[in-house]
Amino acid sequence: MRALPTPTTEPALVGGRRAPSGGRLPWSWARQALEEARNYWIATNRPGRPPHCRPVWGVWQLDGFWFTTGSRANRNLAKDDAIAVHLESGQQVVIVEGRAVRTREHADLIRFAKAVDTKYGWDAVPADDGVTDPEGNGGPVYVVRPGLVLGWNTDVSVATRWEFGT
């Protein structure tokens, strides 16, 4: 697992202008929100069609956001690995933009299965193509290493842009 580099930080634009305070949120604020979230929304690109959005379960690790899905997103990511990940909350906003890389490494699948079992009580185990549970739910496993993360607080008085240069 390769830990993310320290991001560069600057005030972000929200609605085309800087937040009123012009301040910055610490990366620890965004990281904690990503770690503690229960549900995440992903958006992938459908070739020649509108984007595909759906909620997923996932875990934030030292090297990025890990998730699995059995949805249309798999076909989209096979053609275009660009992805956006958004927290469920519209009050504590964190948006991750990056690339989704599929992992088939057995050690990664074991680590992911243990992390989702701890977080969700989901009895997932490694499979040939990702992870699965006793009912056959699951799918390929992806890690999203962020290039850009945007975040702002409840009243949008502070908005921050973190760039990872990855």
Query: Which has more confidence, 9 or 107?
Result: 107
Taking residues 109-133, report their average pLDDT: 95
| Strand ranges inside the chain, DSSP E | 8-11, 13-14, 17-18, 40-44, 52-56, 58-61, 64-68, 82-87, 93-103, 125-127, 130-132, 138-139, 141-152, 159-163
For position 90, what pLDDT does the model report?
84
Percent pLDDT > 70 in the chain is: 96
Query: Which has more confidence, 126 or 5?
Result: 126
CA-based max dimension of the chain: 51
d(CA 74, CA 101): 11
Instruction: Please return the burial class of 3, using the count of CB atoms within 10 Å of its CB with bins 0-12, 13-18 and 19+.
Output: exposed
CB atoms within 10 A of CB 118: 10
For position 75, what pLDDT does the model report?
93
Give pLDDT tens digits for 43-59.
999 988 999 999 999 99
- Does this model's pTM top 0.85? My answer is yes
**In which band, very low, low, confident or very high, does the pLDDT at 125 lie, cut at 50, 70 and 90?**
very high
* Whether 40 contacts 88, CB under 8 Å: yes
Chain centroid to CA 116: 14
Taking residues 96-100, report their average pLDDT: 97
For position 166, what pLDDT does the model report?
58
Q: Which domains does the chain have, with CATH numbers?
A: 8-163 (2.30.110.10)
